[in-house]
Amino acid sequence: MKLFKFGGASVKDADGIKNVFSVLEKVGHENVLLIISAMGKTTNALEVVIQNYFEKSDALNASVQEVRKYHNQILMELFEEDNHPVFSAVNAHFKELDYFLNHNKSPNYNFVYDQIVSFGELISTTIVSFYFNYRGLKNNWLDVRQFIKTDATYRDALVDWEQTQKLITKQIKKKNLYITQGFIGSDENNFTTTLGREGSDYTAAIFAYCLNAESVTIWKDVPGVLNADPRFFENAILLNQISYREAIELAFYGASVIHPKTLQPLQRKEIPLFVKSFLNPMLPGTKVYKHVDLEPHTSCFIVKKNQLLISLSSIDFSFIMEENISEIFALFHQFKMKVSLIQNSAISFSVCLEVIFCNFTELKSILAKKFKVSYNENVSLYTIRHFTEKAAQMVEENKTVLVKQISRETMQVVTKE
């Protein structure tokens, strides 16, 4: 089978959904499994619902209605009949959301987050599936929660590969067109879990691994994998091909085109990954595969904004040794801090962190009991793969460099604008 993943930008409105239909007409749809994200900025809109839910805000109902209104507008543009069954199918999802908001007893933010935010994917795939049937393209809608089983680490769940493999191979039949959700799964109690932000790419890789797929294609609004994010760098160029290893390096350092967890399962079974444009689907895009050289061979730039740089030094001028570092990393793990850069000396230890769940204040108070803590908020981390002197100068220009680290192939710089 072939796995196609379409992100939120590709289905942000009625024209986008029509375009996805057009893409399948051009590239083929037999023996294809579609992974589809929430439409447009729906995940962000549902995060507002979650915020209002916990604050017991008077705006809760209005924020739900905003999500409903957005999807209803798309429905009215796609379907001519007001009584088309898609309206009741989508309404059923909103009724389920309302029921949860009115009856949930759990105070666990991460649990509530996953139960609510997942409706974005459920609704988007329902609309796309009905639209394809409406246009004569028969398909099977799947609830991904019946296939991808995880632990109960809400918002960043770990996949139970053995159980997931059994469920997928038992129920997915070749030659059909399937449509299912990215980003979500379910735990052993059938509560919804999510695989982390941008986890839809990972969903495609999970299905591809379990189905021994022919390929995975991620359809984006860019022509493929670029050597830099065009939002931050001028004259970004298309990479025609890169190896798994290079792609994993780029993903690890924060390249946004490919989710960090996506590549490992594909590499294990040597399943090629294509990144293509849903605006120009017949262009070749970028191929990610084993043992291929970076083409063209050029510097690749990755930037992470809004990072946190922490420097820890021993209060009594003693060395920061292995036991200290082990204790520090245990705290980072406990507080779900993602480490992007490490630099240490005899009596100091610096890390650049991605703060995911806004809990730095508590972590800082614990660290301050043993270390002198200095920190800079809202710093930027630039990573240059295959760096040159010219590339380094371009990144450092007109910025204050706080930390600089160079290895054989990679240069990292933490800056304050």
Contact 110, 154 (CB under 8 A): yes
Contact 36, 11 (CB under 8 A): yes
Output the tens digit of pLDDT for each of the chain's 417 residues. Answer: 999 999 999 999 999 999 999 999 999 999 999 999 999 999 999 999 999 999 989 999 999 999 999 999 999 999 998 899 999 999 999 999 999 999 999 999 999 999 999 999 999 999 999 999 999 999 999 999 999 999 999 999 999 999 999 999 999 988 899 999 999 999 999 999 999 866 899 999 999 999 999 999 999 998 999 999 988 898 999 999 999 999 988 888 888 768 768 999 999 999 999 999 999 999 999 999 998 999 999 999 999 999 999 999 888 777 777 778 888 999 998 888 889 999 988 778 899 998 776 778 899 999 999 889 999 999 999 999 999 999 999 999 999 999 999 999 999 999 997
In Å, how far are 31, 33, 137, 229, 239 from 173, measured between CA atoms? 9, 10, 17, 38, 34
The arrangement of strands across the sheet holding 410-416 comes to: 337-344, 348-355, 300-314, 371-385, 410-416, 400-406
Res 323: pLDDT = 79
Burial of 162 per CB tally in 10 Å (0-12, 13-18, 19+): exposed
How far apart CA 48 and CA 178 sit, in angstroms, is: 31
Written as one letter, the residue type at 121 is: E
Written as one letter, the residue type at 120 is: G
Burial of 56 per CB tally in 10 Å (0-12, 13-18, 19+): exposed
Tokens of 315: 């209060």
Res 197: pLDDT = 66
Contact 308, 353 (CB under 8 A): yes
Ramachandran area for residue 18 (φ above 0: left; ψ -120 to 50: alpha; else beta): alpha
How far apart CA 329 and CA 331 sit, in angstroms, is: 5
How far apart CA 381 and CA 303 sit, in angstroms, is: 6
Contact 411, 387 (CB under 8 A): yes
Res 210: pLDDT = 98
Phi/psi at 6 (5° precision): -115, 125
Torsion sign over Cα 286, 288, 290, 295: positive
Tokens of 120: 């974005």
Contact 208, 197 (CB under 8 A): no
Q: H-type helices in 37-84, by residue range? A: 42-54, 60-78
Res 184: pLDDT = 97
Phi/psi at 299 (5° precision): -70, 140
How far apart CA 48 and CA 273 sit, in angstroms, is: 34
CB count in 10 Å sphere of residue 257: 20
3-state secondary structure of 402: strand
Tokens of 155: 């918002």
How far apart CA 121 and CA 100 sit, in angstroms, is: 17
How far apart CA 254 and CA 348 sit, in angstroms, is: 26
Res 51: pLDDT = 97
Tokens of 163: 């159980």
Contact 367, 331 (CB under 8 A): yes
Res 248: pLDDT = 87
Res 336: pLDDT = 84
How far apart CA 196 and CA 114 sit, in angstroms, is: 10
